């Protein structure tokens, strides 16, 4: 799992590459926590290059969401693929997390 972060007008765009699952959830969760504690409370997770998300991966995203909101910010999603959208819908987390089709739309709407 590769994690790359770019800062854009007060929003930290976190691009993930690979599977967001049991193996990578821990490192993603601590990465997001670290960003929030560094003052980046508005997170945008770009899932464009994430081939697979499972319940562990969702847990990492929810963990990041809680940390961000507790710090007065938020965590949003962009470019969720078919499989990611499926698990988000199946768990009704698509009602809890804002999901955008593109990063541009997400930055505009944040």
Partner 1 sequence: MPQSRRRWLAINSTWVLVEESLILTAHPDALESIHAALNRFWNQASYSVLPLSAASWLKFSTAVVEIAANIIRYAYPNDAGELGIRLRFYRNRMEARLCDRGVVFDALSLTSRELRTDELREGGRGLAIARAGLDQLRYRRTLAGTNCWRLVKQF
Nearer to partner 1, 19 or 40 (CB): 19
Q: In angstroms, what is the minimal distance from the CB of 97 to partner 1?
A: 10
For the window 2-41, what string marks contact with partner 1 as x by the rule CB under 8 A? -----------------x-xxx------------------
Tokens 């709407």 locate to 109
What distance in Å separates the CA atoms of residue 23 and residue 26, rounded to the nearest whole number?
7
What distance in Å separates the CA atoms of residue 104 and residue 60, rounded to the nearest whole number?
24
Please identify which residue in 36, 63, 75, 106 interacts with partner 1, judged by CB under 8 A. Answer: 63
| Cα distances (Å, whole numbers) of residue 34 to 52, 72, 86, 100 | 23, 15, 28, 24
User: Which residues, in sequence order, are bridge partners of residue 45?
Assistant: 14, 77
Judged by the rule CB under 8 A, the positions of this chain that interact with partner 1 are 19, 21-23, 52, 54-56, 58-60, 62-63, 65-66, 82-83, 86-87, 90-93, 96
């Amino acid at each position: 799992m590769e994690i790359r972060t770019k800062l854009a007008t007060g929003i930290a765009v976190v691009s993930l590459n690979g599977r967001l699952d049991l193996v990578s959830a821990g490192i993603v969760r601590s990465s997001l926590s670290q960003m929030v504690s560094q003052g980046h409370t508005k997170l945008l997770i770009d899932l464009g290059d994430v081939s697979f998300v499972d319940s562990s991966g969702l847990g990492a995203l929810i963990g990041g969401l809680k940390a961000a909101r507790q710090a007065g910010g938020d965590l949003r999603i962009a470019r969720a693929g078919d499989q990611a959208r499926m698990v988000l819908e199946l768990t009704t987390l698509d009602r809890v997390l804002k999901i955008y089709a593109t990063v541009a739309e997400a930055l505009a709407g944040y």
